[in-house]
Amino acid sequence: MVEGIKDLEFQNECVDFLIQKTVAGDSKQVITIKAPTGAGKTIILIKYIDEYLNNTYGNVAFIWLCPGKGNLEEQSKEQMENVTPERDIRNLLYSLLTGFSAGSITFINWELVTKKGNNALKDGERQNLFDRIADAHKSGLEFVVIIDEEHANNTSKANDIINAFSAKNIIRVSATANKVNHQEYYEIPEDAVISEGLITRAIYVNEGVDEEKQITNDYDYLLDLADEKRKEIVENYKMIGSKVRPLVLIQFPAGQPETIQAVEEKLSSMGYTYDNGMVNIWMSDKKMISDDLTDLDGSPAFLLMKQAISTGWDCPRAKILVKLREGGSEDFQIQTIGRIRRMPEKKHYGLNILDFCYLYTLDTKYKEGMLSSMDKAYQLRRLFLKDEVKGFSLTKELRNLDYDGLGERETLLRVYDYFKNTYLLNGDKENNKVKLEGAGYNFAEETDSRVPKGIFRITEELAKQDAHRQIVMKTQINTHTHGIYLLHAIDEIKKVTGMQSQKVKAVMERMFRKGKNTKYKFLSLDTNAFYAFIINNTARLKMDFKQVTSQMNVQQSFVLRPKTDRFVIPEQEMYKYSEVKREQIFRLYAYWKYTTAFCTARTRSLPERLFERYCENNDGVKWFYKNGDAGQQYLSIVYIDGLQKQWLFYPDYIVQKENGETWLIETKGGEASGHSKNIDMQMGNKFLAFKRYAEEYGLKWGFVRDIDEQLYINNTEFVDDMSDEHWVAIEEEFG
């Protein structure tokens, strides 16, 4: 029996739903529960397991998987031991030593079974996890797998573990779950949790933020507001005779040393330090935690943290969250709000200041959850290679790291020529500014941020905020406080070019920043204006630099040849699939049991779907295989971009024909209503590299695109316009 737990109607209704679905023979395997933070999901799951074991006689063992961060599995295990002490409650080590048994509940930290080099999966003195699962299956034991904070380990390796259990039911629980057609779904309304006094009545966002004020330092401004609110809350707790001391959480997206130091210095100037116990820090590489941090009357007033603490950590006195920006454009993850929504004494006080929680942030974009599209659209299934395909091999190319593209001067010349020709720039700097402004470049020396302000009753309202609850904040850009923003902007450009950060910055300074050397100078911006120009125009600069790299190069012009290795098609593969109304086998696919469920709008692009169906119905095809998009196990070809940087691309398909020909096919977006659907700016460079590779290794090849659901192929001369004669119906060339 569950001891010492208050009965709450919304919890019992969720337990009843779980019992009904896991006992019924016709329910779907996966059951998703969306439970707001503070709803007591651990208690709900404990009650469910206890009631299931009390009222059924099935030969069932429960597996409770928890995120590794925050020691959540230990917290959940201890809680269950406290309220159901008679149950067979274990950790993973115990089940590995003794085996799984009916009625047992095994708590597993995800990192034990998914982290590289873990002991749980090694052969040795004790049987490994997969052996114990196999033994359990042989004995007729069934599993129910519970995945707590299920968004936290949504990876293929985690999926391998889940699949190994072949569970009767999989129960996924999260505050940010999505409804999926091929799963059972239950949502606990946030209102029900609020009504019971378990979480705050509302979230007050940016209280006191003044849109008339121009900010010079985000951190100083937000921390002053947060501390003022903390002191006000302290006085109100004292007024009602409560010992609760509110905690301010300060969240850094990446935990850059520069931003952490700036915040530490600001707090120190306010009288709060590590030495006097008022400040704690919880980062992956640095922890300084007081013993009483989570106590209701704990001494620390501020906790510095990263996003990682958003799951698996409970501190009900946390009342205020300050979310800082390190790059200027990060998304705010709504589930982080859960850290400040719990009512510390599980009741409302009748005072808004104590019954609300408080968020201070200048973030402009909000995401309700961290779930990938996998949870919304498709699942994973393992397939195995057919015998006739085993042994097939090709030569794959790898980047030669001894060659790193053009030098700084050559790079500058390419970028300079692009800007000069694209925007018709010359030596007249004022005129250049007018031309760039006309093309959409922003020359303001401040940033505008449209941020939310107001009272939001439930988190969904914050995720879907309307313009009426937004204000525009202006931040003056300066070198002292926005250096990290500049680095972030340069890093964004670096990602699309492959250039080193210093090279990107040097090229920009040469063209746009005031300096003695006037050659290649389009603008002569002072330091603050230069920072503002780069920060405010990051997206536009990225697009222009991508255009530079997309300029076509002669792909044979390697300074050093690419390295090579042998490629074989993997003997097993995890494939995405989604349920279809009428599932049919693809006879000619390289893997057994590949069906139309793997070839849907959720898992394949239109040209990919069209090509797979074309192959399946082509008498000249022996088998075909969809290559992976990235990774050392897949077929890769090296191509050179406009700055002579080496990149890898992965041809979409390998096709073996009955006549012995091997074809490599790359699919791209075609045309609709006369407009190109292709979004790959490097298509020309990839085309040339593909042509070079196929000629070198004696293979057939082609780029395939679609018009009106008809496929066309080109393997002669690159041209984007599909009305050109080089694009021919696929039957004419491929057969």
Residue 134 and residue 252 in one domain: no
CATH for 308: 3.40.50
Q: How confident is the model over 293-338, as pLDDT tens digits?
A: 999 999 999 999 886 454 456 789 999 999 887 665 556 666 678 8
Type of residue at 49:
I
Of the given ranges (54-68, 184-198, 358-372), which has the lowest mean pLDDT?
A: 358-372
Domain membership of residue 1 (yes or no) is no
Residue 539 and residue 585 in one domain: no
Residue 315 and residue 418 in one domain: no
Q: What is the pLDDT of residue 117?
A: 57
Residue 228 and residue 342 in one domain: yes
Domain membership of residue 472 (yes or no) is no
Higher pLDDT, 309 or 28: 28
Per-residue pLDDT band for 359 (boundaries 50, 70, 90) equals very high
Of the given ranges (16-30, 66-80, 606-620), which has the lowest mean pLDDT?
A: 66-80
Out of 516, 550, 584, a domain closes at 550
Q: What is the pLDDT of residue 125?
A: 40
Domain membership of residue 467 (yes or no) is no
DSSP symbol at 518: -
Residue 187 and residue 263 in one domain: no
CATH for 170: 3.40.50.300
Domain membership of residue 465 (yes or no) is no
Q: How confident is the model over 162-215, as pLDDT tens digits?
A: 888 999 999 998 877 777 777 899 999 999 999 999 999 999 999 988 877 777
Residue 389 and residue 317 in one domain: no
Q: What is the pLDDT of residue 192?
A: 94
- Calculate the CA 132 to chain-centre distance: 33
Closest to 243 measured CA to CA, from 313, 345, 340, 358: 345
∠ at Cα 430 (427, 435), nearest 5°? Answer: 90
Residue 427 and residue 338 in one domain: no
Give the mean pLDDT of 127-156.
80
Residue 386 and residue 282 in one domain: no
Q: Cα(202)–Cα(140) distance, rounded to whole angstroms?
A: 49
Tokens found for residue 23: 């006992």
Enclosing domain of residue 517: 408-441+478-550
Closest to 17 measured CA to CA, from 144, 233, 185, 245: 185
Residue 182 and residue 215 in one domain: no
Out of 550, 579, 612, a domain closes at 550
Domain membership of residue 99 (yes or no) is yes
Domain membership of residue 311 (yes or no) is yes
Structural domain tally of the chain?
4
Residue 129 and residue 242 in one domain: no
Out of 550, 567, 598, a domain closes at 550
Residue 87 and residue 146 in one domain: yes
Q: What is the pLDDT of residue 368?
A: 53
Q: Do the Cβ atoms of 450 and 364 come closer than 8 Å? A: yes
- Calculate the CA 410 to chain-centre distance: 36
Domain membership of residue 417 (yes or no) is yes
Domain membership of residue 446 (yes or no) is no
Residue 42 and residue 133 in one domain: yes
Tokens found for residue 392: 């097939």
